[in-house]
Amino acid sequence: VRGGPVIAVDGPAAAGKGTLARRLAEALGLPYLDTGLLYRAVGRLALDAGRDPADPAQDIAQTLSPEALRRPDLRAPEVAVAASKVAAQPLVRAALVETQRRFARERGAVLDGRDIGTVIFPDADFKLFITASPATRALRRFLQMGGDATAPDARQKLADMEETLRARDAADAGRETAPLCIADDACVIETDTLDAAAVLAEALRLARARLAGQPAG
Ligand code: CDP
Ligand code: CDP
């Protein structure tokens, strides 16, 4: 028995999952967990140790400390790639399942990631799949990282970013364990033409309708 509702937010890279999940949690008074940080921290520590992130990394996942999740350098592009490589390892994923489930136990939670609605909480109270075209997502990540869309090389940088995101999405969707995919009972929000406030409004409308009649968190 959980102390509050569990809301799963999944989707491809830079779709706006984290931005939405954080605001949704705030609006509903629920704790928020960015599960990508778990894989990013494992990837970061593998790189620090001079290891290939494709090599077995379960020892790192099994001993992950809260401090490792608070490192300021987890958003770097090379860490995202390393995260995706360690995330393809079944033993790494297995080591992180309990942490994610425990997080929601007391008060419920909003969690964002790739497999929250499919593997971590298949019985979540409400599931969202947040997506946008690769071009939109590339622009979002480019701007988020301080890129200047009016610079002479912006076109090339956006094309490179799009290719990088596509490659990571393909790896995440193509892996055998907990691949990125839409849960059968998820609500899909296409966000190409929606800003973050509009996505939040739509998600809140759907969440409130779905959670109505359930005990509040
Ligand atoms: O967590 P995920 O990688 O899916 O994306 P994010 O880091 O939450 O969002 C990527 C960027 O897109 C952030 O700078 C957001 O402000 C921006 N954005 C958004 O989240 N939602 C929109 N509908 C439009 C832009
Ligand atoms: O913010 P962005 O969408 O770019 O990435 P993230 O959510 O921080 O996730 C980084 C990587 O961790 C993803 O590309 C996945 O390979 C992995 N991940 C995962 O496998 N399962 C999750 N629940 C969350 C992240």
In this predicted model, what pLDDT tens digit does every residue of 195-214 receive, in sequence order? 999 999 999 999 999 998 66
Q: Is the CB of 114 under 6 A from ligand 2?
A: yes
Q: Is the CB of 144 under 6 A from ligand 1?
A: yes
3-state secondary structure of 158: helix
How far apart are the two ends of the chain, measured CA to CA in Å?
Answer: 12
Cα-to-chain-centroid distance, residue 159: 22
**Ligand 1 atom index nearest CA of 194:** 23
CA gap 16, 3 in Å, rounded: 27
pLDDT of the residue at 214:
61
CA gap 158, 212 in Å, rounded: 42
* Cα-to-centroid distance, 141 and ligand 1 (Å): 7
Mean pLDDT, 10 residues at a time, the chain of 217 residues: 91 98 98 98 98 98 97 97 98 98 97 98 98 98 97 97 98 98 98 98 96 63
* Cα-to-centroid distance, 113 and ligand 2 (Å): 6
pLDDT of the residue at 213:
61
**Ligand 2 atom index nearest CA of 85:** 16
3-state helix vs strand vs coil in the chain, percent to 5: 55, 10, 35
Q: Is the CB of 195 under 6 A from ligand 1?
A: yes
CA gap 32, 113 in Å, rounded: 12
pLDDT of the residue at 2:
77
Q: Is the CB of 16 under 6 A from ligand 2?
A: no
- Check if the beta carbon of residue 188 is closer than 8 Å to that of residue 131: yes
To test the ligand 1 pocket, which listed residue (19, 84, 133) has its Cβ within 8 A of the most ligand atoms? Answer: 19
CA gap 98, 13 in Å, rounded: 24
Please tell me whether the interface predicted TM-score (ipTM) of this complex is above 0.95. yes
| Residues 6 or more apart whose Cβ sits within 8 Å of residue 144 | 14
- Residues at the annotated binding site? 11-19
Torsion of CA 128, 109, 138, 40, to 10 degrees: -130
- Check if the beta carbon of residue 120 is closer than 8 Å to that of residue 97: yes
- Check if the beta carbon of residue 111 is closer than 8 Å to that of residue 100: yes
CA gap 22, 32 in Å, rounded: 6
